[in-house]
Structures are given as structure tokens and as C-alpha cells.
Structure 1
Amino acid sequence: MPIKFPFTKSKKQTLNRTLGLDYDHIPKHVAIIMDGNGRWAKNKGMPRIAGHKEGMSVVKRIVRHASDLGLHVLTLYAFSTENWKRPKNEVDFLMKLPVDFLGTYLPELIERNVQVQTIGDVSLLPPHTRKAINEAIEKTSKNNGLILNFALNYGSRFEMVHAVKEIAEKVEKGDISSDEVNEDLFSSHLYTSDLLEPDLLIRTSGEQRLSNFLLWQLAYSEFWFTEVFWPDFDESHFEKALCDYQNRKRRYGGI
């Protein structure tokens, strides 16, 4: 289990205490759909890639804050299986972002005891993207702080179909019986098999849909939506989402 970073007095004083956030009961796993980069850029008369570049700076700040707060897992929806449909120049730029991000930020991630992981079919990513990701995973593999989990070339329906195929093959081979197929077994065949399910999903830019993201894993997660575009999202918005989460009662179908 990842360790939680204890606050120093100076760190506590820098956080937004006016929101009433309980720093001793931070959700363990937060997932974020980082939406609105293109619209943010368009509103400023800039190309879409400028929004993605600015969004990368926000990722750095939110990762730092999540680490300081003691989250166990932060999952970021970085590139979906549907994003390949975007213009080639935009896709090419998006494929360079992990290289730039990890190339400049990896030393700090190592120092902060952050462990980099990915979910999705990364085998289809360009070689330079895979190389940067694999290097980050390898160099942070022994860290036991925040798990920074990037969803890259990720699609939840593909993930679930893949899991069904793996289980069906095991049943056909006689390795397991159909009676053994249950929710736990299914979950063990997902990309997230070693992770806690998200407590909270955040989506920026005003959209209120899941967009094929963690459809199984988000079954009992709390959702938090904001009109703020991802490049304008900051630590105060993040804390507001956590505070709202803490004020909800999770019943899991009970009373």
C-alpha cells in the first residue's frame, strides 16, 4: 500500500483551509478526465495544440498537489482510443507530450516518491512515446508514494471485451469453470487489477459524460463536474472537488 506523506506545518499553511477540507480523510483514488484544452485555446485565438501544452503544466501542478495531500492513486485520462480520429498534427503533438512531460519532470517524480503506471494498449503508441513511458515506469518502479496512472490509448469497452476474451479462453481450456466467473475474477482481468477503484471522478470543461473511461471501475464512484477548462484548473478547484466529495455520503446501494 502506498505511503501517505505527512504534512509539515508550512505545507498546511499553503493549502486552502477556507473550504473546510479534512486533510486526514482524503480520497485514496481520484480519476480525472482532463477536458477542454482545445476550446480553451480557441477562445484565446490560439491553435488547439497550445491548449494541450498549457494542460501539461496543469498536470504537473495537480500531481504535486495530489502527492502533497497524500492520495494513493491519481488516474489521468490522457489519450483515448477514440482520439486517433483527431487531425494528424494534433495526434502527433499529443504523442510528444509524454516525452516532454517525463523528460523534464521525471527527476521530481522520483524525488517525490511517485510511481508512474499506465493503463491502455500502449503497444500502439509511437516508439518515442513508449520509450519515455517505459523509462519512467522503470525508474519509478520501486517508489511507494502516489501512483500516477496515465490512461493512454485507453478505452473501457475494449478493456472489458479483452477481459471477457481472456476469461472465455480459460473456461475453454478448463483452467476455470463458468461457475467461478464473478465480479472479482472479472476485475482481475482489467488493466486496473492492482489498483483501488476510484473514489472520485473529476471532469472539467462542463461536459457530463464518461467518454468510455473506466466504465466498470466507476460503478460506485462520486462524480464532480466543473465548467472550468483543464488549462484553467488549479489546486483550489482540486480541493473544492475533494471537499464536495467529503460532504457526500456513499451508500453503495444501501440506506
Structure 2
Amino acid sequence: MKLSVDVVVLSKGDYKSKAGYLPLCLASIKRQVKYHRLITVVNSLGEQSLNVIKKYGGEVYEENFGSLGKIREYAIRLVDCPFFLFVDDDCVLRRNFMEITKYLQEDVGGIEGLDYIVNPKRQLFAEAMRGLPFGNNSLSRRAFTGDTLIRTEAVKDIRIPMWVKAFEDEYIRRHIENRGYRWVKAVDRYYCDHYDFGGPHVGYSVGVCAKRMGYLTNKQSLVNFIKVFPQVAYALAKTRYWPLLPYQIKFYFYCLAGVLCSC
């Protein structure tokens, strides 16, 4: 299926900390997507990032709301095609990415591509858990908008609160589903390489926002934290990759702390 799409890239603008992922991201979009407009919304624009974006002919908007939710809402206002792609600057689209459109139907509002996380602390754990009866938890079903096709009509009226500093992916999915559309996870293969090397402390913001959205309760978060110990034990037995242990335990500890501290 051929679509006219805008592509929206969200970037922190910190070129050095991304180790060059922004140019890889933009190059993959150029190869894989026939887009109408390439829109880059940058949190803090540096000269190197600006030069890279200009190289690929993208429009640049510098905004710093201090909230990922508000930044995504602002970006949605910029698109003018019936469909658009959200691509995060640490995501590199894989070959034939636009095959994701095979999931598109009239009642589909968003299609999320399965991401391969180029961080063994997370990817090896996720692969070890796949298919196990105890491998999932309440966070496993959360949405991801790092390489996601969205129907503009489904989000044109969205208003995301300022407190949504993380977990905004799930907020967007819920809005789309409340509008009567379906959210589809394309899991037949990997659609992008996700260079996410963030620390486990992000779990705190996830916990705070997930609790305020009604996605996580105190009990669910406590169960997630308890379950991570046998999950990590199994993953270690299977992978022998010890660094995943502290990462996973710390992430779910921070998430639990965020849930308990959320008002």
C-alpha cells in the first residue's frame, strides 16, 4: 500500500550523547519512506544536529516543554497528511519498513513496529522472556511510538497533560482507542533497531505517569517487582549475561518507587 505520509522525528538534540544515531535515523528514513514532509522537533538544537537535519532536507522546530507528552502533541499539530510516522532519533528503520502498512485497515489508528533494542541488558532479557507463562507483566503490553504509523484523524484533537513526562506512548494509544480505532502491534519481524542505552532510573518517571493514567496500581507494580527476580534468574541461566541483572532489578525498583510516590 502506498501512502502519503509526513515523518516526525523527535530529538533531544544532544548529538554527542546519541553517538551519531540521529544521522543513522534520518538516513534510514530517506531510504525506507517516501514522505511528504520530514519534520524534526528538537529539544535543544546544536549546530551539529542542525547540519545533519539540513543535509536531509528536514524542517526544524526547536521546542522545550519539559514534557515528552507535550512535545508529541506539538509535533502532531505540524503534520498535514492523513497519516504520519513518529520516529525517535535513536531508532533506525530496517529494510522494507513500510511493509508495516499491510496491517492498515479503516478501523486502525496506529501501527507500532516491533523494535530490536540494541542494548543487551534489555534485548536479551526480552528474548528470554518471550513465550514464557511468567515472562510478561503489566508493563509488557505498553505502547511504543518510536517507529509508529498513526492516522492523523485519530489524534488531531489530542491534548496531553504537562505531567506526562514519560509513558506518553500509552497515553496516545488510549486516546486513539477511545476514538474507536484499533492499535496494532506489528510483531511478525523487527521493524527498527532501537539504540536505547538509557539508565534504569527512567523507571521512576514511567511509574509516576503510569500510576496517574490508571495503567499501574500499587499492587501491580509490587507484583512486577517481585516477579523480576525469578525472571532475571531464568534469563541469566539462559544467556549467562550478568549485566542484565542489576539493570532489570533497578528499573522495576524505580518503577515501584514512582508508583508509590505518585499523587
More strand by share: 2
More helix by share: 1
Using CA pairs under 8 Å that are at least 6 residues apart, name the structure with larger relative contact order, 1 or 2.
1
| TM-score (norm. length: structure 1) | 0.30
